[in-house]
Amino acid sequence: MTPRIAFTPGEPAGIGPELAVKLACSGRSPDIARAQIVAIADPDLLQQEAARQGKTLQLLPFDPSQPAEASPEGALHCLPVPLAEPAVPGRLNTANGPYVLETLQRAADGCKNRTFDAVVTGPVHKGVINEAGVPFSGHTEFFAEQAGVEKVVMMLAADDLRVALATTHIPLKDVSDAITADSLQQVLTILHRTLQQQFRIEQPRIGVCGLNPHAGEGGHLGREEIDVIEPTLNTLRALGLDLIGPLPADTLFTPPQLARCDAVLAMYHDQGLPVLKFKGFGRAINITLGLPFIRTSVDHGTALNIAGSGVADTGSLNAALSQAIELAQLRTI
């Protein structure tokens, strides 16, 4: 199987175009070299970035009716989407907000009709898309809506550590109210099912963090563990899920405990992600669970301050592509 992976470089004024050119021209791992990478982007934007880097980029026409063929060194297959106005590195332009969404729409459509085996997304700038008059809360929500899925789960991975989130981008003061029995059961069910079906882990073991310091210390530091988390875990254990916890996060995120887990569920964003990024900064990736197709992403922003300078690091993109390719190949077994 030659996996066919859609790649959306994201915000045209950010480092996404630079990452695309480096992906084509700066060497690839063997697994990425075996895949067909289809950049959904403005061809002129990519060629201008290649010229800025002093590289020769070949853009091959993409024909979905033909069998997938690996993109050769120095080349990308391209599904062209035109910019509204020329992009200037580091300078946001609301005119190009709809362009970004069009690239995502093409990727979503291609994943839904099985033209693509997976989509890997580069960084977008939510603010400029919204300022263009298009409501947009993020990649995750966009793909969920396109797929007709009500609930998805954000999981980040670095090397052998996987951390899923019970809540995502909400203020810390709202986290406790957001952790309900229903939401926690949904998240853990999606996480368990994805580890089984996509990662092919027959009986995944999931470590679950408590919300409070010391996991509430028997109710003295909070009752969320007693009233919500532990009863929900027991309900799911009765259904066959292998769950450890709730444990204090500073206990669960230690090597002996992590060695027992295939994934960890953190209760909120900054409970789990600092550990993951410390372990794998520059290699961390974002994986959306609960979609009917594979979506991975870089775990960094548009980096407008260095756009056009040639110093962007491709580590996270390479990791996201490798993970997408691996999951696509597992899907065919």
Binding site annotation covers 277? yes
Pairing status of strand 205-209 against strand 242-247: parallel
Is the pLDDT confidence value at 71 over 70? Answer: yes
In the chain, where the domains are located: 4-149+291-332, 153-277
CATH number of 4-149+291-332: 3.40.718.10
Question: Tell me: the pLDDT tens digits for 134-178?
Answer: 888 889 889 999 999 999 999 999 988 999 999 988 899 999 999
- Please check the confidence at residue 28 and state whether its pLDDT lies above 90: no
The answer, yes or no, to whether the previous bond of 246 is cis (omega within 30 of 0) is yes
C-alpha–C-alpha distance, residues 156 and 184, integer Å? 18
The DSSP call for residue 72 is P
Element (H, E) at 153: strand 153-158
Residue of 308, 128, 117, 282 lying closest to 198 (CA atoms): 117
* Residue 126 in marked binding region: no
pLDDT value at residue 169: 84
* pLDDT attached to residue 261: 97
Average pLDDT rounded to a whole number, residues 171-193: 97
pLDDT above 70: residue 333: no
Q: What is the mean pLDDT of residues 100-108?
A: 97
Is 139 a known ligand-binding residue? Answer: yes
pLDDT reported for residue 217: 92
CATH architecture assignment, domain 153-277: 3-Layer(aba) Sandwich (3.40)
52 is in an annotated binding site: no
Are the folds of 4-149+291-332 and 153-277 the same? Answer: yes
The CA-CA-CA angle for residues 272, 257, 261, to 5°, reads 75
Task: Kindly list the strands in the beta sheet with 285-289, ordered across the sheet, starting from the edge strand earlier in the chain.
Answer: 58-61, 75-80, 36-41, 4-8, 118-121, 295-298, 285-289, 153-158, 161-165, 263-266, 205-209, 242-247
Q: Are 136 and 101 in contact (CB under 8 A)?
A: yes
Q: Which of 274, 315, 321, 322 is nearest to 15 (CA)?
A: 315
Does the annotation place 220 within a ligand binding site? no
